[in-house]
Amino acid sequence: MAELHVTTCPRDPETETNLRCGRCNELICPNCLIQTDVGSRCPDCAQIKPPPMFQTSSGELGKAALAGVGTAVGLSLLAGAIVVFFQIPFFGIIIVGAIGWAVGEVVYRASGYKQSKSLQWVAGLSVLSSFLVLTIFGDFTAILGLIIGTYYAIQRVKPPRGV
């Protein structure tokens, strides 16, 4: 008869488990694991804070949001005026894509070269504000650019996996 390999939690030896900490790979069980933003961690690893470049304070987020929304709205007003005066078809698609790229750069710099989940929200919402401005000018094709632009902006401030 084949013997079943049963593993137990080193912290709670009574508890059978096959869950492992996402960082150090040690066995953990539902009693001792700590759920973090980046998955289940053992209590030791859960206490380790991510490096400072992947943590954003509310002050840094505020600066990044101001810069991001400012850039997005400013560039969109300019782009909207171009759309209205020159009647360029589908300009919105290209322009929101390009604005998204610029917003990602600006948010990244304004936060002090940081990358975090919160900054991704800031970047995404900034691009959304540029889309809203362009719809005032009646350029609804901008919605396709919004998808591209949001992608660029969010990728720029994306923290690496497992931080």
Contacts to Zn ion by CB under 5 A:
9, 11-12, 21, 23-24, 26, 29, 31-32, 42, 45
Which residues on adjacent β-strands are paired with residue 19?
A: 28
Q: How far is the CB of 6 from Zn ion (least distance, A)?
A: 14
Residue reference for tokens 């900490």: 21
Rounded to a whole number of angstroms, the minimum distance from the CB of residue 51 to Zn ion is 17
- Name which of 28 and 142 has its Cβ closer to Zn ion: 28
**Count of other CB atoms within 10 angstroms of residue 49:** 9
| Among the listed residues 102, 100, 78, the one whose alpha carbon sits nearest the alpha carbon of residue 144 | 100
Least Å distance, CB 49 to Zn ion, is 14
CB of 31 to Zn ion, least distance (A): 5
Nearer to Zn ion, 26 or 53 (CB): 26
Contact status, residue 32 vs residue 11, Cβ threshold 8 Å: yes
Burial class (CB in 10 A: 0-12, 13-18, 19+), 30: exposed
Radius of gyration of the chain (CA): 23
Which C-beta is closer to Zn ion: that of 9 or that of 142? 9
Looking at the Cβ atoms of 26 and 70, the one nearer to Zn ion is: 26
Q: Residue 130, CB half-sphere, CA atoms under 13 Å: how many?
A: 41
Residue 9 or 83: which CB sits closer to Zn ion?
9
The secondary element (H helix, E strand) that includes residue 101 is: helix 91-110
For residue 55, the minimal CB distance to Zn ion (Å) is 19
Contact between 90 and 102 (Cβ < 8 Å):
no
